[in-house]
Amino acid sequence: MADWIPIARATECLPGQSIERVAGDRIVALANVGGTFHAIDGLCPHQGGPLGTGGLCGAVLTCPWHGWQFDVATGRHQSSANVRQDVFEVRERDGTVEVRVTAISGSSTAEA
């Protein structure tokens, strides 16, 4: 089982925000939805945009390059059931956010 990897201080990603981090060999989009952290694959499947630097509205993260939108809780693309980002386990311990970069769901490369 993959180890937990610290990626941020909890204060670096406040409610309503998302940030981009590297964990192992993965880019992670970390989002804070009302005080609950979610972590998904941060590499947009469209053309590789940095999802973590996109805008977060509720649980929906919008890619800053061309606007593809993903639910950060499920990794699902908002308008195509065939596109789903990997979702990673995330936890907060002593003010540090940690992820496991073994996907718990997701992965696709289909066109939206």
**Which residues contact ligand FES by CB under 6 A?**
44, 46-49, 63, 65-68
Report, in Å, the least distance between residue 100 CB and ligand FES. 24
CA 17 from centroid of its chain's CA atoms = 11
Residue 62 or 97 with smaller CB distance to ligand FES: 62
With beta carbons less than 8 A apart as the criterion, state whether 99 and 89 touch: yes
Three-class secondary structure of residue 44 per DSSP: coil
With beta carbons less than 8 A apart as the criterion, state whether 10 and 108 touch: no
Tokens of 110: 């289909």
Residue 66 or 93 with smaller CB distance to ligand FES: 66
Residue 35 or 67 with smaller CB distance to ligand FES: 67
Report, in Å, the least distance between residue 10 CB and ligand FES. 27
